[in-house]
Each structure stands twice: as C-alpha cells, then as structure tokens.
Structure 1
Amino acid sequence: MNTALEALIFDVDGTLADTERDGHRPAFNAAFAEAGLDWHWSVELYGELLAVTGGKERMRHYLAQYRPDFELERRAFPNLEALIAHLHRRKTEHYVSMLRAGGIPLRSGVLRLLREAREAGVRLAIATTTTPDNVTALLESAPEPGLVDGFEVIAAGDVVAEKKPAPDIFELALAQLNLPASACVAIEDSENGVRSALGAGLEALLVTTSSYTEQQDFAGATLVVDQLGEPGDPATASVGDLGGAEYIDLAVLRRLREQVFG
C-alpha cells in the first residue's frame, strides 16, 4: 500500500493542551458551586472520573457511583437531565472564559507541528468528545490568529451516537475528510482515545501522554511519547522509536504511517 500521509487527526483535551486538571475540572467545580451544589471534584477524583468520556456522561457516573443519595430540588429544575444540561452549559462557559484569559496554553510542539503540516499541505482534523465551543475557544486563544481555520474538519461533542472509546467520532472525521484510515495519523493522549482510533482503523497512532494518562494502557499505539517536543525541549519515547529525531515532526509521522501501512 503506497498511500501518502494526507491528514493528521487530533484529539483535543490532553493532546492539544493539558486541559483536564486545571481547565475542565475547576470549570465543573465553579458550575457546581454556582448552582448551590456541594459537589467538588478533587484532582484525584477527577482522574478517576476521566475513565468516562463526555462531561454530561461524567456527571451521571459521578452521581451513580459517588452520590447515589442525591435528591433533586425540583423547584429549580424539572428533572435530573435538565440539571445536568444546565451544569454542562455553565461549565463550558466558565471553561471558555478561562481559555480566553490565556490560562491554558497549547502543549509543547503543537503549534510547530500544526504550522509544518499546513505548510506541507497535510490536512488537519479534530476528533474529540468535548464540545465545539471548547475546541474553538482553545484554538482562538493560541498565539496565532486564525489557527482554527486550519482545521478542515472539527468532529466534536454530541454529533455521534457513542463517544470514545467507541470509534464513532474518528469514523465521522474520516468520512468528512473522505480519506481511508491508511492515509492518516491519529494523535491521542488517553486509553479511551487509543481504543476509539484503533476501532476506526487508525492503526498509525501516536500517543502524547498527559498529566492524567501517563499510567494508562496504550496497547496498539505505534509510538508513545511524553510530548511532541521542540528544539531544545525533546520528546522521549516509551513505546516505539523516534528514529534519532529530537521531536515529533512530519518526517517522524510519515515513517510511523509507513511502518504500519507500508
């Protein structure tokens, strides 16, 4: 199979930026406090909750596992789903405000790789369980105007039936790109993301571990590194081989794709 590398498909949270611990978590807590709830997600608890993808799904899981005694005050919300929808909306608004204030930078090497891909004509896509607003706000907060416009496809949020680890969101991104999986490299940071990408046939798979995912199982990933890296701020591989490179660039990703698909 002689397909060239035509597209990169990125996850967002933990991959483009380390958003979970210091972004989404405090935004959830702000929404809970604002609603008069005594819920509080510590750093450790949130790490456990991340086993469930999707913010609304995470809240339902939290109630089922940690607060089964919770009783809804129906004067404020007619049912639990209405409360969860309200909390998720306010959480997103808090999170976007944090992004616009510049509180969550892109990870090492992300901007460099995006620029290199754009200059080389390699197409860019996103496949994420977070909301489209979160994606746009993160990219618009980056130190480069118009970065969001470089992504041809943004597959995000509730646009598919099942979230990661189901393959739906990656399958949607591939369909919108109109490319086979063999023409792409997926870039993820979590076990759920790895399972999702592999389920969509994206076997050329790079993992950049994040603060919450370092100890997860990345079986099936072709290359696992601690970051994309920069000149003078090198990436370190725990699975696979950088081939002597200091950081992840298109040459590394082309070799990765060829290693899997030929």
Structure 2
Amino acid sequence: MKLKALIFDLDGTLAETERDGHRVAFNRAFDEAGIGWHWDGVLYGQLLTVTGGKERIRYYLEQYQQDFCPPEALDEFIAKLHQAKTQHYIELLKKRGVPLRPGILRLFHTAREQGLRLAIATTTTPENVTALLSTSIGRHALDWFDCIAAGDVVKAKKPAPDIYSYCLEQLQLEASECLAFEDSANGVRAAVEAGVKVVVTVNDYTRDEDFTGAALILNHLGEPDQPCQILNGKLNGFAYVTVEFLRRLSGETEQ
C-alpha cells in the first residue's frame, strides 16, 4: 500500500493559534456580550480538553457558571457567542497573523511536488480554516487541499473518529494510505480509532498529554537548519520530517 495523502489537524498543529488567538477572541466575545467571563491561559488549557468552540462554552457553563441565566435559549445563545468569537478571531488573524509551525509549509510544498494529496480534519469552523491559511500563506493555499473537513460537518467531534472517517470518505482512500498530524490526545484518539497512523507535534498546552497509539511524537516537524526533537519514537537518521521519511513510516517501502 502506498502513502497517498497527509491529513492535518489545524489549531496547535499547523500554527500556535490557541493561547493568543482563539483564547483572546473568546474573551473579546465575552466582553462584547457583557457577561463578565474571562478565560486566562491556565483555565483555557483546561478547557482545551473539550474539542469544539461551542462545546467548550457549554462545558464552561456546566462546570463554572451553573447559576448563569442566558438572555435567550441556551443553544441560540451559545451559537451567537461562538459566531462572535469566530469574527474576532478572523480579525485578529488579519491584523497580526499567526506563523505556521516549523516544517509545515516546507512539507506542504514537497508533498504536493511528490504527488501526495493534502487534507485537513479539524473541529474548528471552516471560516477559521480559511482565515489561517489565507493570512499565513495566501488564499491560493485553499486549493492545495482535496478535503477540508471542519466544524459541524460531523456530529461527534474528536476524540470520536468521525471527522477522519468523513475525510477518508471524501478522499476515497483507505486509512492505511494516509498519515495524520495532530497535537493533542483527543486528535490522536480520533485518528487511531479511524485506523490512521498519526504523528504528533506537541505544544505547551498538550506536551504532557497521553499520546498512546501515536507512531511518533516530536516537538515540531523541523527544518534543515532547525532539527526537531524526538520525544517518542524514531526518525531513523532523519533530522527533520521529510516525505521520504513519511513514506517509510507509513510502511510503503516495506511492500
């Protein structure tokens, strides 16, 4: 079986968007709504165990704001609050952007040059995907991906495998023909349950999570002048992640 596609998570995997991007946008939406909530860095790290922005707001209400009375039906209130947060996030990206993590853009280019397909499987909204790719690379980058599976396209979000199953269906590929890239335990569980081998690049929020099932755990994908650090697994002599290495990791050269 040949490696045919690379599937990427978005937030935390492609770029460090959480602490100074999504968290700030949530707080601006809370201020705009006049509800007096504030998510600091520590609290936000705890809330990140819940995937999906709307789901995160609901969890916060259940755990920290049991006495809060929304001004309208709860589902509608959460949806509007999350929509406002998305707009604030997009504006943040337009104003200051968030750089891609080491190795991401290089891998995009070399993968495409060598005939691998690209896809995204994320719990964030399609608008956030567009905003990050457009501001960090350019709007043309949206055409690089054969599938962008995002937001509420599936009912159950990570750690459920649904988003990966959907992505595989859209690509019309078997799980063994793909590799996934994630930064969190929930993402790893989703990919592994869907049968997709996964590479983890940790960040400050996820560094100590349980990545059982991951094929490789790194600090980032690395660059020729910026070798990556192996946290678990083997790079087999490579100093950074290349397409050649990924083909070997997938088992392609063993056929």
* Correspondence for 1:79 among 55, 66, 73: 73
Match of 1:57 in 2: 55
Larger helix proportion, structure 1 or 2? 2
1:183 equivalent to 2:177? Answer: yes
Superposition deviation, residue 127 in structure 1: 0.4
Match of 2:151 in 1: 157
Q: For 1:164, what is the secondary structure of its paired residue?
A: coil
Give the distance between the partners of 1:94 and 1:134, measured in 2 at CA.
10
Asked if 1 retains the 8 angstrom alpha-carbon contact of 2:97 and 2:136, the reply is no
Match of 2:107 in 1: 113
Give the distance between the partners of 2:10 and 2:216, measured in 1 at CA.
18
Asked if 2 retains the 8 angstrom alpha-carbon contact of 1:209 and 1:227, the reply is yes
Match of 1:24 in 2: 22
Paired amino acid for 2:42:
E
Superposition deviation, residue 261 in structure 1: 8.3
Superposition deviation, residue 101 in structure 1: 2.0
Superposition deviation, residue 58 in structure 1: 0.3
Match of 1:42 in 2: 40
* Correspondence for 2:141 among 132, 147, 153: 147
Moved more, 108-117 or 94-103: 94-103
Match of 2:211 in 1: 218
Paired amino acid for 2:189:
R
Asked if 2 retains the 8 angstrom alpha-carbon contact of 1:18 and 1:211, the reply is no
1:230-254 CA-to-partner distances (Å, cap 9, x unmatched) read 1111111111111111111111111
Match of 2:186 in 1: 192
Match of 1:239 in 2: 232
1:207 equivalent to 2:209? Answer: no
* Correspondence for 1:122 among 112, 116, 120: 116
Structure 1: gaps (5+ residues): none
Give the distance between the partners of 2:253 and 2:231, measured in 1 at CA.
18
Give the distance between the partners of 1:137 and 1:102, measured in 2 at CA.
12
Distance 1:206 1:261, change over 3 A: farther
Match of 1:6 in 2: 4
Q: For 1:58, what is the secondary structure of its paired residue?
A: helix
* TM-score, normalised by the number of residues in structure 1: 0.94
Moved more, 136-145 or 79-88: 136-145
Aligned pairs, number:
255
Q: State the percentage of identical aligned residues.
A: 56
1:104-127 CA-to-partner distances (Å, cap 9, x unmatched) read 111111000000011111000000
Paired amino acid for 2:240:
Y
Give the distance between the partners of 2:190 and 2:103, measured in 1 at CA.
24
